[in-house]
Amino acid sequence: MVIWKNYYLILLRIGYYQSYQKRYGGFDGRLDFHCHFFLLSIVWKVSWGSPRQKGLQYNTVGFMTKRRKAPKQVEPEDNSHVAVRISLKFVTARKKRKIAAFLEAYCPTVNFFIRQVWPLKGGKGVHFNGATLALLPKNKTRLSERYKSQALKQAVDICYSTIRSAEELGVKPSMPVFQNGGAKLDAKFVKVIEREGESIFDLSILLSEMEGIRGKRRMFLPLKRTEVFNKWKEWQQKVDVPNQKEPVVYKADLVQGCELTKEYVILWFKIPEMPYRKSRMIGVDIGKNKMVATSCGDFFGEEYSEICDAVSRKKRGSRSRKRAARRRDQYINKVVKELPWDSIGVIGIEDLTGMKTGKSKGRGKNFRKAMASWKYCQPINRMIQLAKVNRVRPWFVDPANSSRTCPDCGTVSKLSRRGENFDCIACDYTGDADHIGAIEILARTRDDLRSLESRSA
């Protein structure tokens, strides 16, 4: 029965049958015997050959589909810190030369420790003691022991993040190289000083002694607050707590530390943990033609494809390409902020890890060239950050066949997807493919959360 169902659905789509009957029988006279035999061989392969593999199942109409795994939600990485970049344009040329000299000694030290800890599975088992630091003799670097330990710590963090990213993508990790990066310094080396109306420089950084870099004096870096810095400095969230008369006020805390580069410093604000808002759920579909499509039928970022194509047309390494990439990043931030964050409690996001990697029949040269400028990670990371700030719970689901699943009858078939349009082959349900995908993501998010609640009950 499954074979004949698939067979007659194919005939229906190519136009040899005028109607779809409940009973199946007889061939159409307009098809000769050889054509029927060819179609039957294809349907037999689709219906009984490959679907019997592990992890496949049939839907209600007989087309095979991947069996979704049991809900195994991985919480997103720590996004409790917001980065704010502040320029060093008010720093004197002499201090900038000292910073450049410090980074010229710091970056090779980080690369040296990366080469040392990489054979140890990315630094696993590395001890932050004198024996590990002794691998780099004092006569081989101008840094002090304190800055050497900080370079070792940053090298281990880089190795860990490289291995974790490779595991998520399913590829073999390769040894990273630290190039033109900033020195991440914690409270042992940096003191951030805020000055309220005392001077034209209302913000400053006091760096610890840079031993071996032209003296041992502390360095004072005058800065000015930016609009983004003031925004997070004044940010607060009031949350009503049961059995309490007054709401609890949450505020962002300025972290004592920075990432030091030649042209700017990066400061961090820590967002406190807050309870999730109890409100409605939505699902979002992330694409290139329309950056974000919601399950409510709203579309955001319809100019995203043109902006990404503008980046691809520019020459690599040119200033025009950097300007186009900067415009794309600003457009992503603008579009993600337009989502209804104030009225939702859960947002279902498709897990697109490894979307642009791997080789298959449909991922040729043209596909890789078209997808090169598409950054799907940045919208997702921005959604996670704004979800934490607005007390919204992000939930990741498997995106397989999300835009091929009919929300009316549940049929899963790639024949229903035609470009940006969706036309179900079973019930003739039509709609926008991105909207259909967002509806399916919302349904999977609800199923996962219900399963999680039932298991925890």
Look at residue 209 and tell me whether its pLDDT is greater than 80. Answer: no
Look at residue 349 and tell me whether its pLDDT is greater than 60. Answer: yes
pLDDT band at residue 419, thresholds of 50, 70 and 90? confident
pLDDT band at residue 201, thresholds of 50, 70 and 90? confident
* Domains in the chain: boundaries: 2-52, 81-270, 280-456
Its pTM surpasses 0.85 = no
pLDDT computed for residue 282 by the predictor? 93
pLDDT computed for residue 457 by the predictor? 58
Look at residue 15 and tell me whether its pLDDT is greater than 80. Answer: no
pLDDT computed for residue 367 by the predictor? 64
Least confident of 313-322, 334-343, 373-382: 373-382
Question: Could you tell me if 267 and 255 are in contact, meaning their C-beta atoms sit under 8 angstroms apart?
Answer: yes
Look at residue 94 and tell me whether its pLDDT is greater than 70. Answer: yes
Look at residue 106 and tell me whether its pLDDT is greater than 50. Answer: yes
Strand, helix or coil for residue 57: strand
Look at residue 288 and tell me whether its pLDDT is greater than 90. Answer: no
Rounded mean pLDDT, 117-140 = 72
Instruction: Give 42-69 pLDDT, tens digit per residue.
Output: 444 444 443 333 333 334 333 444 434 4
pLDDT computed for residue 16 by the predictor? 35
The end-to-end CA distance of the chain, in Å, is 41
How far apart, in whole angstroms, are the C-alpha atoms of residue 434 and residue 301? 13
| Better pLDDT: 124 or 3 | 124
List Cα–Cα distances, 259 to 176, 183, 205, 267, 326, in angstroms.
19, 5, 11, 7, 21
How many residues are recorded in the chain? 457
| Better pLDDT: 183 or 368 | 183
| Better pLDDT: 378 or 1 | 378
Question: Could you tell me if 435 and 444 are in contact, meaning their C-beta atoms sit under 8 angstroms apart?
Answer: no
How far apart, in whole angstroms, are the C-alpha atoms of residue 271 and residue 197? 26
Least confident of 207-211, 326-330, 361-365: 361-365
- Name the residue with tokens 């704010």: 84
Structurally, at CATH architecture level, domain 280-456 sits in 2-Layer Sandwich (3.30)
Instruction: Give 440-453 pLDDT, tens digit per residue.
Output: 999 999 998 888 87
Look at residue 275 and tell me whether its pLDDT is greater than 80. Answer: yes
Rounded mean pLDDT, 254-272 = 92
pLDDT band at residue 370, thresholds of 50, 70 and 90? low
Rounded mean pLDDT, 240-253 = 86
pLDDT computed for residue 283 by the predictor? 93
pLDDT computed for residue 88 by the predictor? 93
Rounded mean pLDDT, 107-117 = 89
Mean model confidence pLDDT for the chain: 77
How far apart, in whole angstroms, are the C-alpha atoms of residue 182 and residue 162? 17
pLDDT band at residue 126, thresholds of 50, 70 and 90? low
Residues 244, 250, 256, 259, CA torsion sign: positive
pLDDT computed for residue 74 by the predictor? 41
